[in-house]
Chains A and B, each alone.
Chain A
């Protein structure tokens, strides 16, 4: 017995109502499934070569929350690189606010209050060229209410290990903040503080319904 619609039986008239009833049953079940889905807006994408930035544009306005995953490495001659994220290609520093907790050998906290950085300052969340091979900076971020023109909140967690021999080179970050630019978010950019992202870096963007 099918799960999602009532089978047509012998004797039912071949009328539009007969078929429309089944289509509606299927459609209602699709809505139920979709309500729990987090469809991919951008499937996991691995860079085949270097990239000065990662841009995700024309973001669908269908969802309630964006969920971003990224594993990033740059060609900067360092163990770690900084990372900035902008929304809508907006480089107005006064539109970005963030509180971040950062664990290295001790735990510190920093505040970004609409100045200094032209985007969300995610600090050292990329490995650099000096980091061990196949080590990437890890980032997972939720962007809430992104289709609105006010009240966009972000929460993120990430870490980066730039060197296996020094404990201070393994940094763990957690942060949250908000974006006060006046437009719905349709674009997201990840920008390394120096150099370019290298091949093997990967990212994905999902929409949460």
Chain B
């Protein structure tokens, strides 16, 4: 049987993506379907699957106080973190784009915190935030400000995490820099001929041209922020949720439910609810994007 060229190419194509498809079914789609089913049971890894319908979800919403605490903590973190990281990254990239001398050195410096990530950076910031011996309160002391107890003060724990994240704002900055380079110089030049000043150029040219990448960054940023876990886990020693549970984020609570008390059915229900929230937020952003995202024509690279 002689296959046509088309068919042979299709067959080859299938072979190339086969590993991915297998992985997709085995490690993504399959598990997701399983966990969806498990969310309607009381599975706890040793027991059988007892179908209990919407019990898990009902318990989540009506009887579980910590669930609401965790959700609230995560939402606060999203609201604090997502805009501030974006603003920092955009500001940095615009500044960097304008400083011709030493640009590469600055870029390296600002990207360095991104590389220094992981448990080591969490430990570093635990020391930086130390109320008595840390850098932050020392510097605040220079200005006569009595710094708070940061990681021991329920009010300041989340802002502390946001500040730690801002240190690594250089990560997203690269995304914007790449885009900034693609903005045609003629736009700025003709604006200058028309007498535009710095702010007008910023708000009428630079920012609108950046909106597609800002949009992408906000979505990925939100998806990431909703899943905050590692920092809180390490910085609270992996057991408690921080002072007054202020660092008990949604995924942290989920983790405890799944791997400490092994309430897996309940935990999977929580994870699906988070999925729904993230989907909802993403869709909301998509819908809303028409109002403010400006898509240039095909001639922009």
* A, B from the same assembly: no
